[in-house]
């Protein structure tokens, strides 16, 4: 346990991308009243003066002293906002801070909590953008450009301390902001205008500026969608097909390989938790969407999502040939569905969480026994095999790659109402590269690192100390090392070091 703590502390100390692995935001916003009690540690006279240039300069100084590389800073004072009853709101400022360089790199970027601390706030004042959020949207709010029912501030009211001047920002986005203002107008809109607004939403969908969740979370956009559902749905369908074909081209060009991870373990041991955590981590860090297949007829609603997650799938989830195509690291092909077969598809990541191992699962997949294919066809397609088992009530994991065994191993598969059948397996876990006794965070980190290696084109930032090689170097045991040890450690002895899949 002491060794576990040491490894966890070392990983946490090295991790630049935040406690959950989520990379720091490229830009943040914050709002605060111009009252000294809301600015602890700041000069009282400075806050009471409302001098935007001076307040902004001090904010930049504090953030850069904490390690942020401030590349853009815009600030405005709102002194004419009103409440719903018409009463005037207290004077307050809105600011947008851009930090670090472009791309996925974390250098020069701080988490929101670190920026709060740098600015002297104990509460969460600094906010990161939502998924897919664009800095132009944050800058539009400084003057209420998209909110016609609020007081309209002039562009000249915004103080630009760093970055593109606010007047240039407004000029570049004037038409888009004006369209959004029309959408937000709280007046009756004729049918012709609803249709025109629907065309705007269609274009924004095709331009990757809107997803379905964003539409349904916004009342105005929901109203527009309700009146233009057919053409908006068609736009989503076209976009998804376009994106799927783009991924297929990249896969066939060798720009990436699929990452296929199979999580096994009995019920309530942590396999689904780990698989879901990996999916959520990739969604948070890369903006990838997640498809959660149903237990049966899994691919029916697949629309090109980058992460394909199957939790406790039935062996009848798809035909044998389709399953091999889905799991093939370099394969992109059509997938059968109940009502309409899917075209060529190439999800970046396939996660399977199921209580049975891949050998037993594959044996019962429809179409398997009518072919001469070996079950190795399924096993060798896996990037990693992970096994979950609780130790003292806490999930622990083994995870490793698959390799050709020195000699085939025999398995017997129990078949209902029939004698068991023997199968030979030529692929199994690579003992020398299989890590054991990992924590939940460690196994998630290992899988994310595997995705980064197999999808180099997305430039996924990997936390230091999370790769399999780094964990071995830090003292994490492997199956081979423990098998050679005369007396395994107590926690390792409780852990299932030899999953049923390849026990022979």
pLDDT tens sequence across 413-428 = 888 888 888 888 999 9
Query: Poorest-confidence range of 123-132, 439-448, 457-466?
Result: 123-132
pLDDT at 57: 97
Q: What is the mean pLDDT of the chain?
A: 84
Residues 439, 444: Cα–Cα separation, whole Å: 9
Q: In which band, very low, low, confident or very high, does the pLDDT at 179 lie, cut at 50, 70 and 90? A: low
pLDDT at 119: 96
pLDDT at 1: 46
pLDDT at 180: 62
pLDDT at 187: 55
Measured at the alpha carbon of residue 232, what is the angle toward residues 226 and 236, in degrees to the nearest 5? Answer: 135
- pLDDT at residue 202 greater than cutoff 90: yes
Indicate the residue among 187, 204, 221 that finishes a domain: 187
- pLDDT at residue 495 greater than cutoff 50: no
pLDDT at 340: 59
- pLDDT at residue 257 greater than cutoff 50: yes
Residues 84, 484: Cα–Cα separation, whole Å: 73
DSSP 75-141: EEEE-S-B-TTSPBPPPEEEEEEEES-SSS--TT---HHHHHHHTT-SS---BPPPTT--HHHHHHH
Count structural domains, the chain. 3
* 3-state SS assignment for residue 11: helix
- The proportion of the chain whose per-residue pLDDT surpasses 70, expressed as a percent, equals 85
pLDDT at 16: 44
361 and 313 share one domain? yes
340 and 412 share one domain? yes
Residues 63, 184: Cα–Cα separation, whole Å: 35
- pLDDT at residue 81 greater than cutoff 70: yes
247 and 170 share one domain? no
Task: Please choose, from the candidates 25, 2, 9, 144, the residue with its C-alpha nearest in 3D space to the C-alpha of residue 78.
Answer: 144
Q: In which band, very low, low, confident or very high, does the pLDDT at 178 lie, cut at 50, 70 and 90? A: low
- The proportion of the chain whose per-residue pLDDT surpasses 90, expressed as a percent, equals 49
311 and 407 share one domain? yes
CA atoms within 13 A on the CB side of 163: 26
- pLDDT at residue 15 greater than cutoff 80: no
pLDDT at 298: 67
Residues 263, 441: Cα–Cα separation, whole Å: 15
Indicate the residue among 201, 226, 255 that finishes a domain: 255
Residues 364, 313: Cα–Cα separation, whole Å: 12
CATH number at residue 91: 3.40.1310.30
155 and 270 share one domain? no
Residues 59, 70: Cα–Cα separation, whole Å: 10
Indicate the residue among 240, 255, 270 that finishes a domain: 255
Q: Which domain holds residue 235?
A: 188-255
Q: What are phi and psi of 426, to 5 degrees?
A: -100, -10
Residues 339, 449: Cα–Cα separation, whole Å: 37
| C-alpha distances in Å from residue 360, one per residue of 209, 311, 377, 430 | 44, 16, 13, 19
Which residues make beta-bridge pairs with 97? 28, 73
DSSP 193-204: HHHHHHHHHHHH
| C-alpha distances in Å from residue 418, one per residue of 78, 157, 362, 410, 421 | 77, 81, 18, 19, 9
- pLDDT at residue 4 greater than cutoff 80: no
Alpha-helix residue ranges (DSSP H) falling in 185-270 = 191-206, 212-217, 219-227, 229-252
Residue of 439 and 101 predicted with greater confidence: 439
195 and 275 share one domain? no
Residue of 130 and 37 predicted with greater confidence: 37
pLDDT at 107: 83
278 and 150 share one domain? no
| C-alpha distances in Å from residue 236, one per residue of 62, 203, 233, 304 | 44, 10, 5, 11
DSSP 138-193: HHHHTTTTT-TTS----GGGSEEEESS-HHHHHHHHHHHHHHHHHHH--S---HHH
377 and 404 share one domain? yes
Burial label, 235 (beta-carbon count in 10 A; 0-12, 13-18, 19+):
buried
203 and 183 share one domain? no
Stretch 135-153: mean pLDDT: 84
Residues 232, 255: Cα–Cα separation, whole Å: 31
């Amino acid at each position: 346990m002491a060794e576990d703590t040491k490894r966890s502390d070392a990983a946490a100390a090295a991790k630049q991308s935040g406690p959950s692995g989520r990379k720091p935001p490229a830009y943040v916003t914050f709002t605060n009243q111009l009252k000294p009690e809301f600015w602890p540690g700041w000069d009282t006279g400075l806050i009471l003066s409302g001098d935007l240039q001076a307040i902004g300069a001090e904010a930049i100084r504090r953030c850069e002293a904490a390690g942020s590389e401030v590349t853009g800073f815009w600030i405005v004072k709102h002194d004419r906002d009103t409440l719903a009853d018409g009463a005037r709101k207290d004077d307050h400022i809105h600011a947008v801070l851009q930090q670090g360089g472009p791309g996925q790199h974390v250098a020069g970027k701080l988490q929101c909590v670190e920026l709060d601390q740098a600015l002297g706030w104990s509460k969460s004042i600094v906010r990161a953008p939502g998924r897919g959020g664009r800095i132009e949207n944050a800058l539009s709010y400084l003057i209420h450009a998209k909110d016609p029912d609020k007081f309209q501030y002039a562009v000249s009211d915004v103080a630009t301390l760093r970055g593109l001047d606010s007047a240039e920002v407004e000029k570049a986005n004037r038409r888009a902001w004006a369209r959004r203002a029309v959408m937000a107008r709280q007046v009756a809109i004729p049918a012709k205008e609803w249709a025109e607004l629907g065309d705007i939403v269609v274009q924004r969908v095709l331009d990757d500026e809107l997803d379905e969740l964003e539409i349904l979370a916004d009342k105005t956009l929901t109203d527009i969608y309700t009146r233009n559902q057919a053409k908006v749905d068609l736009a989503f369908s076209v976009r998804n097909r376009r994106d799927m074909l783009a991924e297929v081209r990249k896969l066939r060009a060798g720009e990436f390989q699929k990452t296929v991870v199979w999580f096994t373990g009995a019920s309530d041991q942590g396999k689904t938790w780990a698989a879901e955590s990996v999916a959520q981590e990739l969604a948070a860090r890369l903006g990838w969407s997640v498809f959660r297949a149903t237990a049966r007829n899994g691919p029916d609603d697949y629309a090109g999502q980058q992460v394909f997650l199957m939790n406790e799938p039935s062996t009848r989830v798809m035909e044998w040939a389709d399953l091999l195509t889905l799991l093939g690291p370099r394969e992109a092909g059509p997938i059968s569905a109940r009502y309409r077969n899917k075209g060529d598809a190439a999800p970046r990541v396939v996660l399977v969480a199921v209580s049975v191992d891949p050998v037993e699962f594959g044996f019962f997949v429809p179409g398997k026994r009518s072919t001469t294919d070996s079950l190795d066809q399924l096993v060798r397609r896996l990037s990693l095999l992970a096994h979950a088992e609780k130790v003292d009530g806490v999930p622990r994991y083994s995870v490793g790659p698959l390799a050709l065994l020195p000699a085939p191993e025999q398995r017997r598969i129990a078949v209902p109402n029939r004698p068991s059948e023997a199968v030979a397996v030529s692929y199994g876990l690579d003992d020398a590269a299989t890590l054991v006794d990992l924590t939940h965070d460690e196994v998630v980190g290992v899988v994310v690192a595997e995705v980064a290696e197999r999808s180099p084109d997305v430039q996924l930032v990997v936390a230091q100390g999370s790769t399999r090689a780094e964990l071995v170097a830090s003292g994490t045991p492997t199956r081979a090392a423990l098998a050679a040890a005369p007396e395994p450690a107590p926690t390792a002895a409780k852990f299932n070091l030899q999953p049923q899949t390849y026990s022979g």
